[in-house]
Amino acid sequence: MSRYDFRTPRLFVAPDLAPGGRIALDKGQANYLTNVLRLDAGDGVLVFNGRDGEWRAELTREGKKSVFLVVTEQTRPQHGACDLHYLFAPLKHARLDYMVQKAVELGASRLQPVITRHTQAARINLDRMQANAIEAAEQCGILTITETCEPLPLANAIAGLSAGRFLIFCDEDAETHDPVAALSRLPKGAPLAVLVGPEGGFAEDERTLLLTHPSVVRLALGPRILRADTAAVAALALVQATVGDWS
Ligand code: SAH
């Protein structure tokens, strides 16, 4: 991605984007732009909808209360996301919020919660997860919105992986070995799934299931046990740096 204007506020919007288009703002968006950022009529923002690329738009007032945006010109064409699914055992609130945002910033195209034996937070607030994904997308400059999925039992999620997708299994029990070498053997740009387990780690039968997957890469993340949210950042950074879009 070329360097782009990350000082101008970015907003994810639903409507199609074309020159002269008028975009109504919901209460939260209007409050964010006018009260939090204290923007006024004529000030510019960047908008994207996941389909039409990124466009500049101007804040416009109509009467005292009503503000909306008028689309002017396209600043970046639409481009796709990495084909990188992030599978994870749900964590509790703040740690889950953090992990979702970091996965989006690190290029995950899909967030797939998986329920494992030692998962401690089986319920997930999907609206909250989606709001975190949108906020992360607005902040990190991507033009797509990461897909957020309903939780699945681990075995179902693994069975549902498309043929040809490599499963990068972050295994806290794996002997320490070079993660860069393990990942560098993968074809660059291949469809990937990265899996990080729960606070309680993986159960033995889950480990057996995962290690029999035809395209599994067992990844050790050093000699220490990382917290699941730390493992997420470490694993996704290694993947992007070796076979992803960081090079
Ligand atoms: N009890 C801690 C960590 C449990 S391990 C917590 O509260 O989060 C959580 C997950 O992180 C593991 O299932 C594994 O997917 C990953 N992980 C942690 N340390 C790892 C390591 N050294 N190598 C590979 N994966 C690791």
pLDDT band with cut points at 50, 70 and 90 for residue 122: low
Between the CA of 225 and the centroid of ligand 1 the distance, in Å, is: 5
Q: Is the Cβ atom of 9 under 6 angstroms away from ligand 1?
A: no
Say if residue 1's pLDDT is above 60: no
Mean local confidence (pLDDT), 106-111:
98
Instruction: Give me the domains of the chain, ranges plus CATH numbers.
Output: 10-76 (2.40.240.20), 84-242 (3.40.1280.10)
Closest C-alpha residue for ligand 1 atom 3: 227
3 vs 186 pLDDT, higher one: 186
SS3 (DSSP) at 133: helix
Q: Is the Cβ atom of 166 under 6 angstroms away from ligand 1?
A: no
Q: Is the Cβ atom of 154 under 6 angstroms away from ligand 1?
A: no
Probe ligand 1: pick from 221, 225, 233, 239, max atoms within 8 Å of CB? 225
Quickly list DSSP for 151-212. Answer: -EEHHHHHHTSPTT-EEEEE-TTSPP--HHHHHHTSPTT--EEEEE--TT---HHHHHHHHT
Residue with tokens 């069975």: 159
pLDDT band with cut points at 50, 70 and 90 for residue 2: low
Say if residue 93's pLDDT is above 90: no
pTM of the model: 0.94
Q: What is the pLDDT of residue 81?
A: 80
Probe ligand 1: pick from 116, 172, 221, max atoms within 8 Å of CB? 172
Mean local confidence (pLDDT), 196-214:
97
Mean local confidence (pLDDT), 197-209:
97
CA 71 – CA 92 distance, rounded (Å): 39
Between the CA of 51 and the centroid of ligand 1 the distance, in Å, is: 36
Closest C-alpha residue for ligand 1 atom 18: 226
Q: What is the pLDDT of residue 20?
A: 97
Between the CA of 14 and the centroid of ligand 1 the distance, in Å, is: 37
Q: What is the pLDDT of residue 134?
A: 96
Say if residue 242's pLDDT is above 70: yes
pLDDT tens per residue across span 224-237: 999 999 999 999 99
Mean local confidence (pLDDT), 20-38:
94
Q: What is the pLDDT of residue 66?
A: 87
> 30 is written with which tokens?
């209007």
Q: What is the pLDDT of residue 3?
A: 66
Q: Is the Cβ atom of 15 under 6 angstroms away from ligand 1?
A: no
Probe ligand 1: pick from 167, 178, 221, 239, max atoms within 8 Å of CB? 221
pLDDT tens per residue across span 147-163: 999 999 999 999 999 99
Q: Is the Cβ atom of 221 under 6 angstroms away from ligand 1?
A: yes
Mean pLDDT computed over every residue of the chain: 94
CA 122 – CA 209 distance, rounded (Å): 20
DSSP-derived secondary structure letter, 224: S
Say if residue 69's pLDDT is above 80: yes
Closest C-alpha residue for ligand 1 atom 4: 199
Q: Is the Cβ atom of 225 under 6 angstroms away from ligand 1?
A: yes
CA 167 – CA 86 distance, rounded (Å): 10
What is the number of the ligand 1 atom nearest to the C-alpha of 198?
9
Say if residue 186's pLDDT is above 80: yes
% of the chain residues with pLDDT over 90: 89
